Amino acid sequence: MIYLSFILVILSIYLTKHTQLHSGVKWPIAAGLLLTALWLTQPLLGTAAAIVALVASVLLSGILVAMLIKRS
Amino acid sequence: MKSLTIKKLFQMHSWVGIVTGILLFIVAFTGAVAVFARPELIIWSNATGSELPREVAPQQVEQLVNEYSQHVPSEFTENIHIYMPTGYNYTELTLVFESHHGDENYDQPVAYAYEINSNTFALERQFYGLTGDYYEGRKYTAGAFIGHFHADLHLGRPVGLILTGFMGLTLMISVITGLYIHREMFKQLFTFRRDKSISVVTSDAHKLFGLWGSVFHFVIGFTGAFLGLATVILLPAAAYVSFNGDQDKLVETFTAMPEPVISEQYQATEIASIMTHISARDEKATLMDLTVMALNDKNSTVYARMLGGENFASELLEYQGNGDFSKAMSSFGDIGGWAITIIEWLFPLHFGNFSGVFVKILWGFLGLTTALIPLSGVMMWLSKRSRGNNSDLSAVAYQRWNRLIIGSCGGIVLACAVMFPAQVILNTTVHGVAQNSWFAPIFFGSWLAWLLLSVLPIDYRRLLRINLIIVAAALLLIVPLKIITIDGYLGFVLASDYRLVAGIDLSFVIIGSLFSYIVFQLKGSHAALSRKPLQQEVA
């Protein structure tokens, strides 16, 4: 479940940069994905740990998306 | 005025990076490895057969404590530490019976220690002597050695701690100045031109790691500075301000476990029921150790140190000897206030040990970016100085600088990689604490040898390739070595209780293969680069 939440975080970062969707659509979707990731990890890690892990996931996902996904 | 400020900050950013860059890489890289030291690498290092440390049943712990308490003088039962075989610090169930006031042989704290196999309950090692000697002389492992090196560079207190704490401060300064001077770069959050020249890739990676990881780097810098400087500068300063310089008084105030008052009335200390209650209270938390004050006395008190679970920071539980739960508190005792909460949070934020392996993987990768930022920064600085017709760094000097970086930074990577196959070999050739004397010569010897090699006038690109080949070979050698030295390794490697060790073995194979891949990639680019003059390359 934790790894699934990390995939959701990567997806949300990917969405914000690499899709042609309108800002009004992609930002709410990305935020929804992040909240879902938090909702998945909160029961497993506890609230504080889940938030810290989510922030760290966002940071690492940003680096991974920027480095590994080629710009179209 | 604004451009002048930016120029000054840029100079500050550059010079702080140049002066401390190599040391910062060394501290940050070993930190990224050390994230996995406790318990993962310690368990891995001690896995010499199919048996791994396992949880000991509460009734068994109580029975063993009572059994071994019969072997020590009565004053030693007033303070008993029971370390669980979790791998965080111990892989055996360890009972330390301590007398803070010494005994007939010593006038300092003295201890009887028993290290018991958690599978067979056989006594593996026993010790009698000064408490400090016991804790300093415990069995080391490759992972623990690297973790210790990260903490104080094996220079001890106060020099090592001040140095690593200072690295934390310089990291904070670099993050703040870097963000300010590169604030326009937020538009380039996703810019990474991997098909361009090495200079462009290095520059993009520096900005990418710096911008995305800035929060992490700042937190690591701040917490690292605190952990390094707290005991050597902040503690004496706090004692000077609030306790007239009396550090013992300060420590006593913040000690969560006061000395017991012995009643001399017998009452069995319910260790088993306390452990059962602890497990039921928070199933996900790890019981690190128990401290029993006044065993089997009416005034007996038991303290349990917990890690993880519902709590972000570690927690201390207090029980009465009869098994009644008294209270939960922080590691610093029953002291309230936001300052204590912040101090408590610094530890898990630095170590990344609050939520299992997943968070450790995040911390490990982000820690690697913390290490790569100063390295890429130094490379950018060198490249800039070597560029153009009026460069102030000659081609020979550029080569020397690169050899110095590969010798020191590549050397620390090599030394860390060599430690793991060495651990496998030591496990079959040297028994127990005798291994301790081998780690420093292997680690520092391989690092020094590599540094000396880098002094020779070898092309720095070739030197880098050799470095990567040795690292890859060392990591890929681990599994074959285990197959040869551990009887039936292939038979139990897939067993469910061996999953952690097998996972680490697999990680070594993956990382080793990745290094091999980089070597082959470099081989191609090396051939292309060697056809270009140096000035053209650095441009």
What are the distances in angstroms from CA B281 to CA B309, B310, B325? 10, 10, 11
Q: How confident is the model at residue B537 (pLDDT cuts 50, 70, 90)?
A: very low
Q: How confident is the model at residue B448 (pLDDT cuts 50, 70, 90)?
A: very high
Q: How confident is the model at residue B529 (pLDDT cuts 50, 70, 90)?
A: low
Report whether B352 contacts B362 (CB < 8 A): yes
- The secondary structure element, H or E, covering residue B433 is none
User: Could you tell me how many CB contacts below 8 A there are between chain A and chain B?
Assistant: 64
Could you tell me which of B159, B524, B170, B208 has the C-alpha nearest to residue B366? B208
- List pLDDT tens digits, range B498-519: 999 999 999 999 999 999 999 9
Contact between B365 and A60 using a beta-carbon 8 Å cutoff: yes
Contact between B312 and A2 using a beta-carbon 8 Å cutoff: no
Q: How confident is the model at residue B332 (pLDDT cuts 50, 70, 90)?
A: confident
Name the residue among A17, A49, A52 with its Cβ closest to that of B190.
Answer: A17
Contact between B216 and A71 using a beta-carbon 8 Å cutoff: no
Specify the amino acid at residue B123: L
What are the distances in angstroms from CA B29 to CA B320, B408, B460? 44, 12, 21
Contact between B190 and A57 using a beta-carbon 8 Å cutoff: no
Which residues of chain B neighbour A53 with C-beta distances below 8 Å?
355, 358-359, 362
- Using a 10 angstrom Cβ sphere, with 0-12 exposed, 13-18 middle and 19 or more buried, the burial of residue B464 is buried
* Residue corresponding to tokens 């496990």: B427
Instruction: Please name the residue of chain A whose CA is at the shortest distance from the CA of residue B214.
Output: A59
Q: Is it the case that residue B495 has pLDDT exceeding 70?
A: yes
Contact between B312 and A46 using a beta-carbon 8 Å cutoff: yes
Q: How many other β-carbons are positioned within 10 Å of the β-carbon of residue B487? A: 9
Instruction: Please name the residue of chain B whose CA is at the shortest distance from the CA of residue A67.
Output: B192
Confidence (pLDDT) at B494: 86
Q: How confident is the model at residue B532 (pLDDT cuts 50, 70, 90)?
A: low
Q: Verify cis geometry, omega within 30 degrees of 0, for the bond prior to B39.
A: yes
Task: Please give, rounded to a whole number of angstroms, the shortest distance from the CA of B474 to a CA of chain A.
Answer: 27
Contact between B362 and A3 using a beta-carbon 8 Å cutoff: no
Q: How confident is the model at residue B539 (pLDDT cuts 50, 70, 90)?
A: very low
Q: How far is CA B170 from the centre of its chain?
A: 20
The helix/strand/coil state of B127 is strand
Query: Which residues are CB-contacts of B534 (< 8 A; sequence separation ≥ 6)?
Result: B386, B395, B398, B399
List the single range of B97-111, B117-131, B326-340 with lowest mean pLDDT: B326-340
Specify the amino acid at residue B280: A
Query: Average pLDDT in the B399-425 region?
Result: 97
> CA B84 to CA B45: how far, in whole Å?
17
Task: Show which residues on chain A lie within 8 Å of chain B, measured between beta carbons.
Answer: 2-3, 6, 17, 44-46, 48-49, 52-53, 55-57, 59-60, 62-63, 65-67, 71
The parent domain of residue B422 ranges over 2-48+151-189+197-227+351-538
- Using a 10 angstrom Cβ sphere, with 0-12 exposed, 13-18 middle and 19 or more buried, the burial of residue B497 is exposed
Which residues of chain A neighbour B190 with C-beta distances below 8 Å?
17, 62, 65-66, 71
For B200, phi then psi, to 5°, come to -70, -45
Residues of chain A with pLDDT under 50: none
What are the distances in angstroms from CA B430 to CA B139, B144, B478? 12, 17, 17
Query: Which residues are CB-contacts of B509 (< 8 A; sequence separation ≥ 6)?
Result: B475, B476, B478, B479
Q: How confident is the model at residue B49 (pLDDT cuts 50, 70, 90)?
A: confident
What one-character DSSP code corresponds to residue B120? T
Which residues of chain A neighbour B310 with C-beta distances below 8 Å?
46
3-state secondary structure B386-417: HCCCCCCCCHHHHHHHHHHHHHHHHHHHHHHH
In a mutational test of the B interface, the residue from A59, A68, A69, A70 whose CB has the highest number of chain B CBs within 10 Å is A59
Contact between B213 and A48 using a beta-carbon 8 Å cutoff: no
Could you tell me which of B213, B241, B268, B248 has the C-alpha nearest to residue B32? B213
- Domain-wise residue ranges, chain A: 2-67
The helix/strand/coil state of B320 is strand
- List pLDDT tens digits, range B514-524: 999 999 988 76
Instruction: Please name the residue of chain A whose CA is at the shortest distance from the CA of residue B210.
Output: A63
Q: How many other β-carbons are positioned within 10 Å of the β-carbon of residue B395? A: 14
- List pLDDT tens digits, range B284-310: 899 999 999 999 999 999 999 999 888
Confidence (pLDDT) at B538: 45
Could you tell me which of B300, B311, B210 has the C-alpha nearest to residue B257? B300
Q: What is the ipTM of this complex?
A: 0.96
∠ CA(B136), CA(B448), CA(B400), 5° rounding? Answer: 140
In a mutational test of the B interface, the residue from A52, A61, A65 whose CB has the highest number of chain B CBs within 10 Å is A52
> CA B273 to CA B451: how far, in whole Å?
56
Q: How far is CA B423 from the centre of its chain?
A: 17
List the single range of B140-149, B157-166, B248-257, B443-452 with lowest mean pLDDT: B248-257
Query: Average pLDDT in the B122-127 region?
Result: 96
